Amino acid sequence: MTRRSTAVLVLVGVLALWTSGAMHPTLIEARERHALTASGDSLENAPPLLVFSTIALGGFRGLIADIMWLRASHLQEKGAYFELVQLADFITKLQPRFAEVWTYHAWNLTYNVSFVCPRPEDRWRWIQHGIRLLRDEGAIYNPNNSSMLLEIARIYQHKIGRAYDSSHLFYKIRLADEMQRILGPSMEEQLRALEQAPIQARLLRDHNLDADRMRRLTVRYGLLDWRSPDTVALYWADRAGEIATAHEQSYAGRTILHALNYIMRQGQVHYDPDTEIYGRAPNVNVIPGILRMLEEKAQRDRTPSDYALLKSVMATAILSLHQANDIYQAREVYKRLSALLAPTGQPVTTYETVLVRQFMRTSDEIRPEALERSVAQCLFTRLFWHCAGVSRYAGGFESLARVLHAEYLGMPGPAAMPRASFEELEQRALTRARAELPAALAAKLP
């Protein structure tokens, strides 16, 4: 290498150092603007490990975290979830303001790690760990990040609220037990409990739930049952909606709407702590608030999708009200649905057809054997509510069973295919109830 080329390389190196130094203040300003710098006040109450890593490692934290991410990907592929838990914990300490680290770690705990545990108690413990990681740690470091709050809502809505996990009923019972011990068994008692300072403090300490927000949601949508996972999901989605960016608002809005839809369908909980008998039924208290919200949006924006959503939710509301044995209100909503459909030229189906299609969850052709099973299922559900002492839902499901059975008898089909009578299907449901209901309920069967 000649002296001239060496001088050129030195000059280029000096120029590069000078340029990087000139850009340094801009980079620091950008990091502070996006809350990526942990210093000063932000470290005052931080965990000792974060303080140490920030001061001792400095800019090398990002490099070390990148190496750990590569290792985490390798462990994920191998299915080494428990080792991955510890590694992800280190990464969150190194990159506390990187929201994706927290959501990934929480998702891994609630879905992967919990799934490999054979006992429901252990699965529930890992799910709770994932929730607390986001709720009590990640959200503290990232107070303006809505994706973490929406992930909490999704865990309650999907992992606990739906039936995708074989231990889902255990999770629902544990949540109901925790919330009932704090707030009480009925929605009216729960609302009154939210006014009491000791209960407010306990909710905030144990679940990071703000009683004022819980009351505001009740005012906005109607009486809520806080033992329902969908109600808790609504809370976290509502919090996320307040801080969501314009890009995230759509997802937050959909999460809120999904939570309300499930609350309307099955958001009222029956739970007996002595027997751990658990059941869910429609919470029709929220129907006026949901319909009002959707009607106002449809009238304001006048988009086809808004009207289609309103019609769909109205049909669901009709079924929920009928299941709750509030037939009068169900028919009132049906009148509003008919009035909404009439100007569009769409065919206005009968009240009974709306019930059948909503219960069967289809707009396609319904087969007689599917309807027969649905009648038997309604009659089984009626026996559950009868034995649980909730006559409202027992009456609603019996009425629905009769509507479905009338449709079943009137359906065209081969003349040689016999149709089961209502009494036959009642007997079939009774036989199933004696075999499947918990002993405490089965003892009350006729």
Which of 307, 364, 316 shows the shortest CA–CA distance to 339?
307
Q: Is the pTM of the predicted complex or chain greater than 0.95?
A: no
| pLDDT bracket for residue 41 (50, 70, 90) | very low
pLDDT digits (tens, 9 = 90+) for 92-118: 766 777 788 888 889 888 998 888 889
Has residue 363 got a pLDDT over 90? no
* Arithmetic mean of pLDDT, 309-321: 96
Give the span between the Cα atoms of 138 and 109, in whole angstroms: 14
Has residue 225 got a pLDDT over 60? yes
Q: What count of other Cβ atoms lies within 10 Å of the Cβ of residue 131?
A: 23
Average pLDDT of the chain, as a whole number: 85
| pLDDT bracket for residue 80 (50, 70, 90) | low
| pLDDT bracket for residue 79 (50, 70, 90) | low
Residue 280: in which H helix or E strand, if any?
Answer: strand 277-281
Which of 117, 116, 109, 114 shows the shortest CA–CA distance to 135?
109
What is the model's pLDDT at position 46? 47
What is the model's pLDDT at position 102? 86
What is the model's pLDDT at position 361? 86
| pLDDT bracket for residue 63 (50, 70, 90) | low
| pLDDT bracket for residue 365 (50, 70, 90) | confident
* Arithmetic mean of pLDDT, 18-37: 55
* Arithmetic mean of pLDDT, 187-214: 97
Has residue 312 got a pLDDT over 60? yes
| More reliable by pLDDT, 26 or 180 | 180
The amino acid at residue 356 is V
What are the φ/ψ torsions at residue 302 (nearest 5 degrees)? 55, 45
| pLDDT bracket for residue 352 (50, 70, 90) | very high
What is the domain partition of the chain in residue ranges?
96-242, 286-363, 368-411+420-442
* Arithmetic mean of pLDDT, 371-398: 96
Residue 155 DSSP code: I
Beta carbons of 417 and 368 less than 8 angstroms apart: yes
| pLDDT bracket for residue 349 (50, 70, 90) | confident
Instruction: State the distance between the two ends of the chain, measured CA to CA, in whole angstroms.
Output: 101
The amino acid at residue 97 is R
* Arithmetic mean of pLDDT, 203-227: 96
* Arithmetic mean of pLDDT, 107-130: 91
* Mean pLDDT lowest among 14-23, 57-66, 147-156, 248-257: 57-66
pLDDT digits (tens, 9 = 90+) for 141-191: 888 899 999 999 999 999 999 999 999 999 999 999 999 999 999 999 999
Has residue 28 got a pLDDT over 60? no
Give the span between the Cα atoms of 81 and 112, in whole angstroms: 7
Q: What count of other Cβ atoms lies within 10 Å of the Cβ of residue 13?
A: 10
The amino acid at residue 21 is G
The partner residues of 278 in beta bridges, in order of sequence, read 271
Residue 365 DSSP code: P
Beta carbons of 97 and 88 less than 8 angstroms apart: no
Give the span between the Cα atoms of 150 and 291, in whole angstroms: 23
Has residue 76 got a pLDDT over 70? no
Beta carbons of 91 and 65 less than 8 angstroms apart: yes
* Mean pLDDT lowest among 23-37, 197-211, 413-427: 23-37
* Arithmetic mean of pLDDT, 60-78: 58
The amino acid at residue 348 is V
Has residue 210 got a pLDDT over 70? yes
* Arithmetic mean of pLDDT, 407-433: 87
* Arithmetic mean of pLDDT, 371-393: 96
| pLDDT bracket for residue 320 (50, 70, 90) | very high
Question: Over pLDDT 70: what percentage of the chain?
Answer: 77
Question: Taking the alpha carbons of 198, 202, 205, 208 in that order, is the dihedral positive or negative?
Answer: negative
| pLDDT bracket for residue 40 (50, 70, 90) | very low
| pLDDT bracket for residue 121 (50, 70, 90) | very high
* Mean pLDDT lowest among 79-93, 355-369, 415-429: 79-93
What is the model's pLDDT at position 423? 96
pLDDT digits (tens, 9 = 90+) for 245-277: 888 898 999 999 999 999 999 999 999 999 999
Say how many CA atoms lie within 13 Å of 193 toward its Cβ.
Answer: 20
Residue 55 DSSP code: I
Beta carbons of 279 and 385 less than 8 angstroms apart: yes
What are the φ/ψ torsions at residue 163 (nearest 5 degrees)? -110, 30
Beta carbons of 375 and 297 less than 8 angstroms apart: no
